[in-house]
Amino acid sequence: MPTENSAVATSPAAAASQPQDFIRQIVRDDLAQGRHAVVHTRFPPEPNGYLHIGHAKAICLSFGIAREFGGWCNLRLDDTNPGKEDPEFVEGIKEDVRWLGFEWHALRHASDYFEVFYRSAIKLIKDGVAYVDDLDAEQMRAYRGTLTEPGRNSPFRERTVAENLDLFVRMRAGEFADGSKTLRARIDMASGNINLRDPAIYRIRKVTHQNTGDAWPIYPMYDYAHCLSDALEGITHSLCTLEFEDHRPLYDWFVDKVDLPGHPQLWQGLVEAGLHTEPAKPRQIEFSRLNLSYCITSKRKLAQLVSEGHVDGWDDPRMNTLRGLRRRGFTPAGLRLLVDRVGVSKQNSVIDYAVLEGCIREDLDATSARRMAVLDPLKLVLTNVPHGHEEMLSFPNHPKDESFGTRELPFSREVWIEREDFAEVPPKGFHRLKPDGEVRLRGVGIIRCERMIKDGEGKLVELHCTLDPDSRHGLPGADRKVKSTIHWVSAGHAVAAEVRLYDRQFDVPAPDGEEDGKSWLEHINPGAKRVVQGWLEPAAAQAQPEQRFQFERLGYFVADRFDHRPDAPVFNRTVTLRDIWARQAGQ
Ligand code: ATP
Ligand code: MG
């Protein structure tokens, strides 16, 4: 039976042909022209939250390209914002990347390079292209200008190199208050690209850092730290999302002005510290974000869902975090398949959530054993089966894959069926069980409904049926045609289970952008989690945590990673067998 790891080799994702997109084309051309000996990428999350479905695209791309071209991909924690970042998230990110099926070449932190960043800033000051500014944040904004108006030079822009050096060294020594001084690049306050209007390089923040403690009262800005980290690690192709396109000129500016390959004294000590480095000039390439309908993919908003108690944590199966999706039963191969299907381009678009569900179903159909479970039970008594009769029936675990083997399923006089599989007054086109009607009991034979038993209030509590002995599975009469087959479990053998029925977290395609005056929080789907007590065949209850099944006719389910025990089973519904949302929308 396929396991999690072998899924890498056997999944539909792996079977798909090698993706062809503009980034892979660039990589191929660069290799053909001998520009790089080895392709080296990186995935650079900020450890201020857990990874979400959008990150899956960035991970699959950077790690995937490295793997396809025999290169390397680093996992780099972009930890330049102390206070918002947490070691808990670092561990979570590592776990999620591995779960998706990838392993990093080296694990790095932007904070590993704080000393290099500092020395490089000194170089920029000495070269006359960086200065210490005393404007506060508000004044700086006012001086920056707008998209249509050029900015104005700061009155501190013409400080001498000596003065700038003195002030910057004192900033580093902790002499000045938070926000009172900033180190800025001296580029062009009139640039059409606002990112080039003397962007900040360092700000003063006396905050304890999770790795460097209180060693630094100043912290580098993202635009400065990111490109230099890429250069230090010898990253050849730095892949990021489109919102960084306007930052690329600044990325290149810092890389060129600092020139790490030409100035080994700047990164002296890194190798001794065990951080092998071979600085090079990296190239930034942007691609469009993965946006999914019915989803929120902003860490800030996901954090809000957690902190305000709308969900039971970052790994709540309603969440579109990787750990939420994992707990819900989504598979790494299914997510990789989604990224392949969606492809890579510079075109921003929103992918229908149904595409994701389709990918998950495709993977689960191939990789999940079948089981029977009843979620809304109605007792059915087979009156011509003797009291105390007990029989073990052999069932294939997978209809299309014999390698899954078979299992034994107990059958007896009393079974549970799904309440909705019976209709006293059948609507038009209803082919399941009805008074005097016949249906096939999956793997058993054809039954006829003889009597309904109701309680004092008229509620149906039991059905009495007879089993046609000639129609038993395996006998010649089993071929007799009936319109429907229903699933069941033996009432005396079934194991009670908590079953958590999950659905989309939001009730509109664009919870964030609906123009109906409602906040995104008001679009939380109240039906996204429903808990019922169901009955499982014994072989389903015996599952290991995270084992996935198709419960026949109901959907794909996973034994909860944390709460499931064979003597107290807990299953989560991953996805229904068909798209119920499209039907509701009349598609
Ligand atoms: P958020 O805005 O939710 O905080 P982020 O982009 O700030 O997300 P990072 O931790 O900085 O999160 O992201 C790490 C990498 O993942 C970046 O290179 C970023 O471009 C990429 N990424 C983030 N969201 C998506 C997405 N929806 N689709 C593709 N890549 C993404
Ligand atoms: Mg970010």
Alpha helix (H) residue ranges in 480-565 = 538-541
Does some domain include residue 540? yes
Percent above pLDDT 90 for the chain: 91
Does some domain include residue 356? no
Strand, helix or coil for residue 103 = coil
Residue 436 φ/ψ region, left for φ over 0, alpha for ψ in the -120 to 50 degree band, beta for the rest: left
Is 149 one of the catalytic residues?
no
Lowest mean pLDDT among 3-17, 277-291, 449-463, 559-573: 3-17
**For 348-377, what is the mean pLDDT?**
97
Does some domain include residue 282? no
Name residues whose C-beta falls within 8 Å of residue 577's C-beta, 6 or more positions apart in sequence.
361, 550, 553, 554, 555, 556
pLDDT over 60 at 131, yes or no: yes
User: 324: Cβ below 6 Å to ligand 1?
Assistant: no
Confidence bin at 55 (pLDDT 50/70/90): very high
- Could you read off the pLDDT of 9-22 as tens digits, one per residue? 334 444 445 678 99
Active-site pick, 203, 289, 419, 480 = 289
pLDDT over 80 at 466, yes or no: yes
- From residue 60, alpha-carbon distances to 128, 190, 213, 349 in Å are 41, 39, 33, 18
Nearest ligand 1 atom to the CA of 302 is: 3
Does some domain include residue 343? no
pLDDT over 60 at 583, yes or no: no
Does some domain include residue 182? no
Polymer length of the chain:
587
536, 395, 534, 378: which is closest to 465 by C-alpha? 378
Is 299 one of the catalytic residues?
yes
Q: What is the pLDDT of residue 516?
A: 78
Total domains, the chain: 1
Ligand 2 is a single-atom ion; what residues have CB below 5 A from it? 46
For the chain, the 3-state helix, strand and coil shares in percent, each to the nearest 5, are 35, 25, 45
pLDDT over 50 at 7, yes or no: no
- Could you read off the pLDDT of 29-53 as tens digits, one per residue? 999 999 999 999 999 999 999 999 9
**Alpha-carbon span 467 to 413, nearest angstrom:** 10
Does some domain include residue 418? yes
Query: Angle 353-367/332-342 helices, nearest 10 degrees?
Result: 130
Q: What is the pLDDT of residue 517?
A: 82
Q: For position 440, which CATH number holds?
A: 2.40.240.10
Is 300 one of the catalytic residues?
no
Confidence bin at 486 (pLDDT 50/70/90): very high
Percent above pLDDT 70 for the chain: 96
Nearest ligand 1 atom to the CA of 244 is: 20
Q: What is the pLDDT of residue 14?
A: 44
Q: What is the pLDDT of residue 585?
A: 55
354, 407, 373: which is closest to 559 by C-alpha? 373
Q: What is the pLDDT of residue 580?
A: 72
398, 387, 348: which is closest to 548 by C-alpha? 398
Does some domain include residue 108? no
Structural domain containing residue 530? 371-584
Write the residue with the smallest CA distance to atom 18 of ligand 1.
Answer: 240
Q: Any bridge partners for residue 487, and if so which? A: none
CA of 379 to the centre of ligand 2 (A): 55
Query: For residues 330 and 58, is the Cβ–Cβ distance under 8 A?
Result: no
pLDDT over 80 at 117, yes or no: yes
Query: For residues 81 and 219, is the Cβ–Cβ distance under 8 A?
Result: yes
Nearest ligand 1 atom to the CA of 46 is: 10
Ligand lying nearest the CA atom of residue 41 = 1
Confidence bin at 584 (pLDDT 50/70/90): low
Does some domain include residue 325? no
**For 377-395, what is the mean pLDDT?**
97
pLDDT over 90 at 538, yes or no: yes
